[in-house]
Amino acid sequence: MMLEKGLINGIVDQRLQGNFHVNSAWKAVEIALNCVSSSSAERPTMSQVVGELKGCLEAMKVGYGSENKSEDSIEAIPLNPLTHGIDTQPLAS
């Protein structure tokens, strides 16, 4: 799985052709993983999600030229400890 390997280019829409801010993309992945936590107590509220996504957008606006295209590693941004151990496989078969 791309997520486990830390390959952000395999997760982000290929139509972007690598033209995205790596840290913002990893933050969006972190937010998404928190949203699908099996424990409702660990899931963020919609207000928190909106706030976090706005933060991603701001980070992209501020530092876009410095870290796009060149990094493809999960090391680019530390993930929230809540996301570790979350089963990312689909629940439906």
Question: What confidence score (pLDDT) does residue 63 get?
Answer: 64
Compute the distance between CA of residue 86 and CA of residue 72 in angstroms, rounded to an integer. Answer: 22
Task: Say which residue the tokens 């996301």 belong to.
Answer: 83
Q: Which amino acid is at 61?
A: K
Q: What are phi and psi of 21, to 5 degrees?
A: -85, 115
Residue ranges per structural domain of the chain: 2-77
**79: which DSSP letter?**
P
**Structure tokens of 61?**
């606006």
pLDDT tens readout for residues 31-81: 999 999 999 999 999 999 999 999 888 877 776 555 444 444 444 444 444
State the Cα torsion 75-80-84-86 to the nearest 10°: -130
Instruction: Dump the DSSP string for 21-58.
Output: BHHHHHHHHHHHHHHT-SSGGGSPPHHHHHHHHHHHHH
Question: What confidence score (pLDDT) does residue 81 get?
Answer: 42
pLDDT of 30 above 60: yes
